[in-house]
Every structure is written in structure tokens, then in C-alpha cells.
Chains A and B, each alone.
Chain A
């Protein structure tokens, strides 16, 4: 056994040295020249002679909704494999896991030791804890050897942020890496009452608008509250504070309310209930509830804000802002929305960088080849667009370079036969085709957006809650109990906040805060080393 291991290790090392030599040569040379020569393919994989590589089958796992039942799914997979055969002599088995099963299936898959070569992961999909547990392979060396093209074209931040204890375990998708909340309002309403939506500075500025809606639009809820309120809160918090606070527990993925926040002014972890901003917000909500701006069933209503907006019950939504996102929103809602610009520049934080990544599984059969695939996804336009949009002439038609349209007579991608919904999940989004209905400058706008973004003071910091697991569980159940009531506006805030806070403290919130502060201080110290 040991002998066998030694030999294979030696073999791997030798081949790594040979291949590494090739790719570093390509890297050392004029990179732009080499990519130019081979059209849309990259440099390093061209240095890899596909015929000398043993055929290998890689299994790729990613979440995929109903799109993975597309009739042409198998056909696209075959096409991908034909293409990859010439490039790196690998076969890709595409396993789209249903969204609802993702969090149940993936941990089992990783624990069972099943072969999983390429695994989609993200900050919201337990990347940090999975990586810390050893579910993924460290990637630094692999990237140097087989991912040099990718590394060269990337903003270095991508490969700095998702580090766990100093090691990189996943490669983020190149896309918009900053995030900020935004409010969008229905255009017909805004026009009708001439709302000054562009100069909205805070929540309070909405009051006259809400008053007008209440008076004149009996069919609309002026300020709708329902569902888990998550999107509403992240946005509100940013609205008032212009990024002063960052959520530590209950980030955007968890759909939960923040409990501990980082105050970037004092560089301290704080209990959100003790920030004046939140107290005043709860008071405002209560006032609005009393004035009848908020729907009466806000505490029990299950439909979230965007669902209510889709049904025509209210006139604005909170959403995450991206360039041109009001037009995406209008398309999905079926009516026109305008952007009510509410806060400062977008912020690059750990969550926004880690929103979509690709990792290599711990028991991957052939990590070298898996890294070549990741490299190709970032570099190779043909492969990426094949995965995302299917086969040309069948699932889409080309309009011009990089611009496509639906085949004649088809209303959407689903009708056209291939609709995996993965165009934000892999490789380099800037290589994606855009539809003729999109803004033709979409990717330029995204790039500009990334450039204007500011880095969060917590960029790269990840709070590991394992040392205070029991406390977090206890605190979460207290949160569930109180948040809904306070957020609904139907409760008297003064007394409730005090009660809530006492209960949080009784469940050792302070211990969590101390732990977060300790981890933060250690993180700062390690960064300054």
C-alpha cells in the first residue's frame, strides 16, 4: 500500500513538474499574445497535450432548479464532453441538484466519500465550514500549475478573500463582486404622484409618499411587511447607516436578522439592539403601523415583499442592486420599475465575493484535470456558453459576437429546450453571451460597478461560530420569537426591545460578541503580520 502510494506520488509530482513547467513558460511569455493566437481558448491548456492525458471522468455538482429537466440537457452534456475531449481529454458528468435538496444532499455526498470532483460552493452554502472541515482540496499549487491564465486575468481579490486559515479552497466566479441594497418603485405610481424618488436619503423621507398612497390608492399597501423580512432589513440598515455596520451573524444568505454587527467606525462588535439606528427604526415601524401604512397582518403574513409586489399588493420592492437591475426586475415582475437610489457606493464584502465559487472535492480522482476545467470555465468562452445557453442554432441564435437571441417562435429559454439557470454560477460571467433584450453594455457596466465599489473593512473575515454553537442556537430562537413582532410594527418597541435584549443577554449574547471580537482581533493581527 505504502509503496503504491509512494510511486503514485512520485508520478504525480513528475507530471506536475513537467506540466507546471509548460504552463509557467506560457505564463512567463506574453500572455495577451498567446491568448490572441488561439482565439477564445487559453494559453495553459493549449500547452497540455490532450492526447497524452489519460481519459478521465469528472463529476460536477451544482444546484439547478427545474432547468435541469430541460429536454436538451443530455445533448448539451454530450456536446460539452466532445469539446473537452480535444481540450483536456476529460468527460464531465453534470449533476444538477435541486435547490430544495442542496443542503441535504451535499453534506451527505461530502461525508460519504463519493467521488465529487467539482463542487459548486458559496459563502451562503457553508463554504467556510466545509473548507475548515476538509471537504475540499487546497488549491494554491493547483492554480499556479494549471490555472495560470485564470489567475492572470483575475482581480487578485478573488483569490485572497475566500481563504480559510490562509489556504484557498475555491475559485470565485468573476462577476459583480460588490453588493448594495436598492429600492425600486413602480413607475406608473411614481409618475402619477410625481414622487421625488431620486432624492431619498432615509426611511423617514418616504413618509409623505406613504401618506399619498394611503389616501389615493386603496388597493395598495403603502408599506408592505411580510415573509421573513430579510431583504427589507439589510437594505434598511444600509439605508440609514451608509455601510457603517456589517452583519456578523445572520448574513444575507441565512435570511435571518442580524444580531451582532461590526461597527466600522469604532472597530467593535456590537449588539444591534443597542444601536440607535435600529431602535429608531423599530419606533418608526410602530408609528407607521399605527398610522395604517403597514398591512395589518404583517406579523403573520407569509408572502414576502417581492411576492406581494408581483401580486400587485404594493408598489415598491427592496432588492439587491446591480447595474441595470431595475430592468431585470421589471422583466421578472411584469411591470416597469425605476430605481430609487438610496445609498452610497456598493461594498465589496466577503459574502459578495463568495457568492458563487467552484471547489475541488476532497476525494477528487484527478485534481489536476479538475483545475484545468475550472481554468477553462474562466478562460474559454465556448465551453462556458455551451453550459449556460446550450447549442447554437438549437437553443439560441447568434445575433452578433457575444449577443444572442431566442430561436424564432420561442418565448423563453425553457421553450427553446435548455434552461439550466446557471449563468451566474460558473467561471467568468463577463464571457457570457447577453441576450438582444439586455443592455448591450451590461458587462462594461458591471466592470465599472466593480471599480467604483469600496472594500468592506471586514473583507475576508469570516466568523466561525463553532466555539459558541450552543449560544448561537439559543440566541437564534430568541430572535425568531421577537423579530417578527418588532418588524411587523405591531408591537410597542420601547418595552419589547428591553425585554428582547434582556432575553438575549440571558442566553449569553455577550459571549458570542466577545468571541466575534476575539476572532476579529486575531484576524487583524494576522493580516498585519
Chain B
């Protein structure tokens, strides 16, 4: 925040100030209001949704949706645990592996730099398709129905390897590495004690995106997990919504089936969205300061 004196000297004119602030308030509201609405609907009485539509202030307040969700508490709690565990373990592995790949190929004096870069680039641009993807995990690695099926597919991302490589190349001056080497540091020590501390912004960014991809992942559960104890949170939520929709749309089967699948109502859908959001909305503010410092590092250098 600029002080009033500074604002007077090179601040904005008052109309511009107002206009900008209004614009930001509107943008802010556009981001926040949907979440508030989802929360409000999740707390509304089902019948009042049908008669009045979505409302910011529920005509009739009800906790039925949350009660419904948590009466299967063990399932939701278990899925929460799986997702948190996968996110934590996966993100740690992700950052370690990605930086371990990115650092060597950022070094000019690494002999196979080109080959390894090409290797990762190819996997970024082309993929073998779903069947081969599935086969690798099921028939080669045999990880289906284990927690590794949720961790391994997302454990590195070629895009972030490339980003990391660029960061190391641009922001870690070769001279620093050289001086450390002259002082007698080995490669491992250089990496751990010099490169990594200097690279916190990029590591934080990798970590944040990895957290998001692990937290939001449902596809790997869908493909690899049939044992319900390893279902991730997002998959449990998604399947509760989709099972019924699927039967409605695809099967003109005996009414038996329709009766078997529980019908999630509007308020339950919204309650699921709230529960699914969980702690992840706190992740961004926490990592934000690294983005700021990441920018600063760039600016000082320039």
C-alpha cells in the first residue's frame, strides 16, 4: 500500500482510482459470489429450491444435505484421508523428482543434456493413448488397487520439468556453481545447499500445481481402483453425482436399477462441492508469498 504522500506524488487520479477499485471489487465478487451461492444452496431446504430456485439467503434453512453426506461418514472420511495422504506424498515426490530431472538438463556441462531434454519433450507432446497408459500401470507395474496408482501417474509433469530447467538456467549463475566447486563442494552439495535454496519460487510453484492436480484428480481412481478403500475424495463425490445421471440417461432398464441408486438432490450436490473444496482453498494464499518473492528475484536481477 502506498503512503498518502507517495500517492499524492505519483499515484493515480481520483476517478481512475475509483474506477480501478470498482473493477477489482467486481472481479472479486465474481470470484467469491459463486462460492457463497453454492454454500447457501447447500444449506437450503430441498423443497424450497424447487419452488424458489437458487437463493443467496435460503427461504428455509436445512442441514439435511450435510447430514446425508456424513451419514456415510466413514466413506467420506476415508476418502478425505486418502486424498490428503496422496496429495502430501505425491507432492513431495513430485518436487523431488521434477527438480532432480530439471537440474541436470539445465547444466551446460552435462553431456547428455540434449538427449534427456528431447526425451522429456517427446513425452510432453505425444502420448500413447489410454490403453497403453492403463497397461503400463496394470500389467507392467501392477499398481492397480494400491495407493501407488493414485500417486505415480501424476508424479512428474514434463511441462514443469521444462519450466524448472529454464528457471535453473536463467536464475542460477554458472559462476556461483563454479565458485562452489572451487571451494570443494561436490555436485550433490551444490544442488542441495546452493541451487535448491535459490530456487524456492519455482519449487513452490511446482508444489502448488502438484497439490492441485493431486487434489482434483478423480480419473486415476476411476481407472485403477476397484477396491473402495482407496477411492479418492473427488472420485467419491463425482461418482455419487454421476451414477444416477448415468442411469437416467443411458439405461432404460428395469426400474429396479433406478431405485437402487440414491438420488443426489441439488442441495447435496452443492454440499459435495463445499466438502470437496476442503482445505485446498487455503493452499493458494499460503503459496502466494513465494510467487511474490519469485517475481522479486527476477526484478532485482534485471
Assess the A108–B75 pair: CB atoms within 8 A: no
Instruction: Report which of B75, B222, B253 forms a contact with A104, defined as CB distance below 8 A.
Output: B222
Partner of A355, one of B228, B247, B250, B253: B253
Residue of B nearest to A108 (CB): B134
* Contact of A99 with B243 in the complex, beta carbons under 8 Å: yes
What is the CA–CA distance of A69 and B226 in the complex, to the nearest angstrom? 11
Complex: A325 Cα to B228 Cα, angstroms: 33
- Does A424 belong to the interface (CB within 8 Å)? yes
- Given contact pairs A65-B260, A97-B226, A98-B239, A329 touches B250 in the complex (Cβ within 8 A): no
In the complex, A105 has a CB within 8 A of chain B = yes
CB-defined contacts of A292 to chain B, threshold 8 Å:
none
A66 & B243 in contact (Cβ 8 Å cutoff): yes
Interface residue? A457 (CB, 8 A): no
Residues of chain B contacted by A230 (CB below 8 angstroms): 252
On chain B, the residues within 8 Å of A67 by CB distance are: 260
Task: Give A33-72 interface residues, CB cut-off 8 Å to B.
Answer: 65-69, 71
Are A112 and B134 closer than 8 Å at their CB atoms?
yes
Q: Answer yes or no: B238 CB below 8 A from chain A CBs.
A: yes
B228 CB → nearest A CB, Å: 5
- Decide: B139 and A113 in contact? CB cutoff 8 A: yes
CB-CB contacts of B56-85 with A at 8 A, as 1s and 0s?
A: 000000000000000010110000000000
* CA distance in complex: A253, B72 (Å): 31
B183 at interface by CB-CB < 8 Å: no
In A77-128, the 8 Å CB interface with B consists of 95-105, 108, 111-114, 124
A227 at the interface (CB under 8 A from B): yes
A196 to chain B, nearest CB (A): 25
CB-CB under 8 A from B252, the residues of chain A are: 230-231, 234, 252-253, 255, 320
Residues 26 to 57 of chain B near chain A (Cβ within 8 Å): 50
Q: Tell yes or no: A528 within 8 A of B by CB.
A: no
Q: Is A216 an interface residue (CB 8 A)?
A: no
A residues 4-22 near B (Cβ < 8 Å) are none
Please report the total number of A residues contacting B with Cβ < 8 Å. 51
A400 CB-CB contact with B under 8 Å: no
Set A99, A311, A328: member contacting B50, Cβ < 8 A = A311
Chain B residue numbers with a CB within 8 Å of A124 are 250-251, 253
Known: A66-B243, A69-B75. A421 touches B249 (CB 8 A): no
Q: Would B223 and A105 count as touching, CB distance under 8 A?
A: yes
In the complex, which of the residues B222, B238, B252 has the most CB atoms of chain A within 10 Å of its own CB atom?
A: B252
Chain B residues with CB under 8 Å of A306's CB are 258
A68 adjacent to B243 (CB under 8 Å): no
Q: How far is the CA of A322 from the CA of B245 in the complex (A)?
A: 23
Q: Which residues of B contact A231 (CB under 8 A)?
A: 252
Chain A hits for B255, CB < 8 A: 319-320, 325, 328-329, 332
Taking the closest CB of chain B, its distance from the CB of A331, in whole angstroms, is 8
Among A189-235, those with CB < 8 Å from B are: 227-228, 230-231, 234
Q: Given A108-B130, A124-B253, A355-B253, A95–B259 Cβ distance below 8 Å?
A: no
B154 within 8 A of A: no
A510 within 8 A of B: no
A423 at the interface (CB under 8 A from B): yes
Which of A68, A112, A307 is in CB contact (< 8 Å) with B131?
Answer: A112
Instruction: Assess whether A307 is in contact with B248, with CB atoms less than 8 Å apart.
Output: yes
Q: Is the CB of B261 within 8 A of A421?
A: yes
Q: Give the distance to chain B from A412, nearest Cβ to Cβ, in Å.
A: 10
Tell me, in angstroms, the Cα distance from A231 to B130 when the chains sit together.
33
Given that A252-B252, A255-B250 are contacting pairs, would A332 and B228 also be in contact in the complex, using a CB cutoff of 8 Å? Answer: no
With a CB–CB cut-off of 8 A, which chain B residues contact A234?
252
Q: Contact: B226 with A95, CB < 8 Å?
A: yes
Q: Which residues of B contact A423 (CB under 8 A)?
A: 256
| Known A69-B72, A100-B238, A307-B248: A112·B135 in contact at CB below 8 Å | yes
Inter-chain CA distance A306–B251, complex, in Å, is 13
Minimal beta-carbon separation of A335 from chain B (angstroms):
15
Which residues of the partner chain A approach B74 to less than 8 Å between Cβ atoms? 71
- Known contacts A99-B243, A100-B242, A112-B134; A253 and B250 CB within 8 A of each other: yes
A261 to B72, CA, bound (A): 46
Min Cβ gap A250→B in Å is 11
Is the pair B223, A421 in contact by a Cβ cutoff of 8 Å?
A: no
Q: Is A99 a contact of B246 with CB atoms below 8 Å?
A: yes
Contact A66 B261 (CB under 8 A): yes
Residues from chain A with Cβ under 8 Å of B204 in the complex: none
Whether, in the assembled complex, A304 has its beta carbon less than 8 Å from a beta carbon of chain B, the answer is yes
User: Chain A residues near B245 (CB, 8 Å)?
Assistant: 100
Do residues A228 and B249 form an inter-chain contact, with CB atoms below 8 A?
Answer: yes
CB distance from B71 to the nearest CB of A (A): 10
A313 to chain B: closest CB distance in Å? 9
Assess the B254–A320 pair: CB atoms within 8 A.
yes
How far, in Å, is B262 (CB) from chain A's closest CB?
Answer: 6
How long is the Cα–Cα vector from A419 to B226 in the complex, in angstroms? 17
Residue B240 is within 8 A (CB to CB) of chain A in the complex: yes
Q: Are A424 and B243 in contact (CB under 8 A)?
A: no
Q: A105, B261: Cβ atoms under 8 Å?
A: no
A253 to B254, CA, bound (A): 11
Assess whether B172 is interfacial by the CB under 8 Å rule. Answer: no
C-alpha spacing A472/B82, complex, angstroms: 43
In chain A between 300 and 344, which residues have their CB closer than 8 angstroms to a CB of chain B? Answer: 304, 306-307, 310-311, 319-320, 322, 325, 328-329, 331-332
Residues of chain A within 8 A (CB-CB) of B253 are 124, 253, 320, 355
Q: Which residue of chain B lies nearest to A252 when distances are taken between CB atoms in the complex?
A: B252
Q: Which of A69, A227, A228 is the one whose CB lies under 8 Å from B228?
A: A69
The 5 closest A-B pairs by CB, nearest first: A421-B260, A100-B242, A252-B252, A65-B261, A99-B243
- Besides the known contacts A114-B144, A227-B249, A253-B250, 17 further A-B residue pairs in the complex with CB atoms under 8 A apart: A65-B260, A65-B261, A67-B260, A98-B222, A100-B242, A105-B226, A111-B131, A112-B134, A234-B252, A252-B252, A255-B249, A255-B250, A310-B263, A320-B253, A328-B255, A329-B255, A355-B254
Q: Which residues of B contact A (CB under 8 A)?
A: 50, 72, 74-75, 130-131, 134-135, 138-139, 144, 222-223, 226, 228, 238-240, 242-243, 245-263
Q: Can you pick out 18 interface pairs between chain A and chain B where the beta carbons lie within 8 Å of each other? A: A65-B261, A66-B239, A73-B228, A99-B243, A100-B245, A103-B250, A112-B131, A112-B135, A112-B138, A124-B250, A227-B249, A255-B249, A255-B251, A304-B248, A328-B259, A331-B259, A421-B261, A424-B254
